[in-house]
Chains A and B, each alone.
Chain A
Amino acid sequence: DAGVTQSPTHLIKTRGQQVTLRCSPKSGHDTVSWYQQALGQGPQFIFQYYEEEERQRGNFPDRFSGHQFPNYSSELNVNALLLGDSALYLCASSRWWQTVYGYTFGSGTRLTVV
């Protein structure tokens, strides 16, 4: 049973560029959340998708956007990249009615902005 898969594993982008990260949730899960983890910090909630809609959003600017597809997979897009966007981006999945019990996390995409 595959867990949460994310691609790519690593990515290097130039300041001002745009990036798209991808996530496939664990089989049976319909809810995807994205977290940003800066170096030496705990993960911070970006937003959550369910039924192809953004349901909740953390304290992140509009440069961060996302999408969820009918097969529950999801994308995270970041526009106008800043050096401060360098981080590990984690995708987490759950069933909508089980989010209180926690999430299954992927291994993340490490984004470096130069």
Chain B
Amino acid sequence: AQKVTQAQTEISVVEKEDVTLDCVYETRDTTYYLFWYKQPPSGELVFLIRRNSFDEQNEISGRYSWNFQKSTSSFNFTITASQVVDSAVYFCALSERMDSSYKLIFGSGTRLLVRP
């Protein structure tokens, strides 16, 4: 079965530190997408990044970067120079095919606390 594991339950850093959130996934699909979502206290899941299974090129977008390694089924997410506003719960998610459409399988989340 498809599965997403986020082993880090909670991370606490001081502002301006870099922080990496780990994600490991299991899937039977040959084509899939991986996502990172941010959930602030308001509850809304905010889309951050998406990567498809055919593209292992790692990228940087502003203060965000990600490291996708198909060989180890990992999709780690790094925030550079963290800020207090980055404090939230971060979810890694995997698309799972359901006949003609897809649903998202989420990990259990990593709570990030950035201290001033």
Given contacts A45-B104, A103-B104, contact A88 B98 (CB under 8 A): no
The interface centre, meaning the residue of A90, A100, A101 with most chain B CB atoms within 10 A of its CB, is A100
Closest A residue to B9 by beta carbon equals: A40
Cβ-based interface call for A7 (8 A): no
Contact of B33 among A92, A102, A107 (CB under 8 A): A102
A56 touching B103, Cβ below 8 Å: yes
Given contacts A90-B45, A107-B44, contact A41 B108 (CB under 8 A): yes
Cα-based distance from A42 to B97 in the complex (angstroms): 19
B33 touching A43, Cβ below 8 Å: no
Closest B residue to A88 by beta carbon equals: B43
Cβ-based interface call for A73 (8 A): no
B43 touching A110, Cβ below 8 Å: yes
Cβ-based interface call for A99 (8 A): yes
Cα-based distance from A105 to B44 in the complex (angstroms): 6
**Nearest CB in chain A: distance from B98 CB, A:** 4
Cα-based distance from A31 to B99 in the complex (angstroms): 15
- 3 smallest beta-carbon distances between A and B, as pairs: A42-B106, A105-B45, A107-B44
| A residues with CB within 8 A of B | 31, 33, 35, 40-45, 48, 50, 55-56, 58, 88, 90, 92, 96, 99-108, 110
